[in-house]
Structure 1
Amino acid sequence: MNNDIVKFIDSRKFSRFDTNLVILGVFLITFTGYAAPAYGSIIPMLFKEWADLNWDQLGYVGSLSEFGSLFGALVCSVISRRFGIKRVLITTVMIFCIGTFSQAFAPTINIFAILRFIAGFGFGGVIPLVLSLLSEYSPKTSKSKSVATALCGNQFGAIIASFVAIYVTTQFGQWRPVFWLGFIPVLLLPYIIKTMPESALFMLKNKDVEGLKRVLSRIDANYASSINIEESV
């Protein structure tokens, strides 16, 4: 990234822009942390619905989510360099939301397993992309705090999943509604699209002067007194 832009971002104070970005990061990572514990909490119900299941199969189904996550992290990190972090991040959010929500309607364990992999691919891409944006835009004195706070979303998601699973399975005797919550981020996509900035590095690479101006003006309305975008690009 251009040194002038790096200095501008690193030297400023933590602002409302950063607060919104951290909150959005916590929100998205919370939903990625929801999936694995949710699965573990409904295993007894899966045995009731699909009587021919065994523990080996359930272990395989559970691991597919992790394999999907690994694959998603690798693929999304690479393609974000070409298409931009924001575009890829929004796509991965849609993938993990649809994959998670669709598990509630899986007719067989095999379809359920495939959907686990798809959801895993999505949230595997979300985490590194969110952390990348936070590392890029947070002031130097707040980078580690911003990243650590966002990662707390994983624990929040696990806690929420446990409570939701306990309530749903005991009150309704069903496991499928546990995955309905996976659709919530899709409903908030307009807000995510509006709030989430594109990577400044990506905009510099593509000489997107207007895009940089829009983002920097959100960070500091008086940015022009500190940096000349036209000279930096």
Structure 2
Amino acid sequence: MNNDIVKFIDSRKFSRFDTNLVILGVFLITFTGYAAPAYGSIIPMLFKEWADLNWDQLGYVGSLSEFGSLFGALVCSVISRRFGIKRVLITTVMIFCIGTFSQAFAPTINIFAILRFIAGFGFGGVIPLVLSLLSEYSPKTSKSKSVATALCGNQFGAIIASFVAIYVTTQFGQWRPVFWLGFIPVLLLPYIIKTMPESALFMLKNKDVEGLKRVLSRIDANYASSINI
């Protein structure tokens, strides 16, 4: 990356731009942390709905989500170099949300398992891309704090999933509504698209000077006095 840009980002103070980016990161990672605990909480209900289930099948279904997450992290990290972190991140959010929400309508355990894999692919891509942007844009003195704060979303998601699953299954005797919450990030996509910056490194590599200037002006309107692009 341009040395002037690195120095500018590293030396500045934590700003509203950073606060918004961290909050957005926590929000997105919270929903990735929601999926796995939600599944664990509804297992008794799955036995009631699909009487021929056994524990081996349920373990297989749970593993598919984790395998999808691993695959998503590897694939999205690679293709983001070509298409940009922002574009790939938005795509993975959509994949994750659609995969999670669709689990509520799965007619069979096999379809449910496939949707778990799809959702896993999505949230596997979300986490490394969010952390990459936070590492790139946070001031040097705040990088570790920003990343650590965003990762707390995993725990927030697990806590929310437990409470939602307990409430839904006890009050309504149904497991399917537990996955409805997975659609919430899609409703906020316009805000995510507006707030989430593209990688400065990607914009430099692709000579997107105007895009880079727009992001830098959001960080500091007087950036031009410190940077020669």
Could you say which TM-score interval applies, normalised by the shorter chain?
Answer: over 0.9
Identity %: 100
CA shift, 1:9, in A, is: 0.3
What's the CA shift string for 1:146-202, capped at 9, x where partnerless? 000000000000000000000000000000000000000000000000000000000
Find the counterpart in structure 2 of residue 227 from structure 1: 227
CA shift, 1:105, in A, is: 0.1
What's the CA shift string for 1:113-150, capped at 9, x where partnerless? 00000000000000000000000000000000000000
Which whole-Å CA distance do the structure 2 matches of 1:68 and 1:2 have between them? 35
CA shift, 1:225, in A, is: 0.9
4+ residue runs of structure 1 moved beyond 6 angstroms? none
Which whole-Å CA distance do the structure 2 matches of 1:3 and 1:125 have between them? 28
CA shift, 1:2, in A, is: 1.1
What's the CA shift string for 1:82-137, capped at 9, x where partnerless? 00000000000000000000000000000000000000000000000000000000
Which whole-Å CA distance do the structure 1 matches of 2:152 and 2:64 have between them? 23
Find the counterpart in structure 1 of residue 195 from structure 2: 195
Which whole-Å CA distance do the structure 2 matches of 1:73 and 1:202 have between them? 18
What is the RMSD computed on CA atoms of the aligned residues? 0.3
What's the CA shift string for 1:31-75, capped at 9, x where partnerless? 000000000000000000000000000000001000000000000
Which whole-Å CA distance do the structure 1 matches of 2:90 and 2:167 have between them? 30
Which whole-Å CA distance do the structure 2 matches of 1:53 and 1:178 have between them? 20
Secondary structure, aligned partner of 1:197: coil
User: Which runs of 5 or more structure 1 residues have no equivalent in the other structure?
Assistant: none
Find the counterpart in structure 1 of residue 10 from structure 2: 10
Which whole-Å CA distance do the structure 2 matches of 1:179 and 1:227 have between them? 46
Which whole-Å CA distance do the structure 1 matches of 2:208 and 2:47 have between them? 54
CA shift, 1:10, in A, is: 0.2
Aligned pair count reads 229
Which whole-Å CA distance do the structure 2 matches of 1:3 and 1:112 have between them? 49
What's the CA shift string for 1:185-227, capped at 9, x where partnerless? 0000000000000000000000100000000000000001111
CA shift, 1:228, in A, is: 1.8
Which whole-Å CA distance do the structure 2 matches of 1:97 and 1:162 have between them? 18
Superposition TM-score, scaled by structure 2 size: 1.00
Which whole-Å CA distance do the structure 1 matches of 2:123 and 2:221 have between them? 33
Secondary structure, aligned partner of 1:71: helix
Which whole-Å CA distance do the structure 2 matches of 1:29 and 1:188 have between them? 14
Which whole-Å CA distance do the structure 2 matches of 1:130 and 1:227 have between them? 25
User: Which runs of 5 or more structure 2 residues have no equivalent in the other structure?
Assistant: none
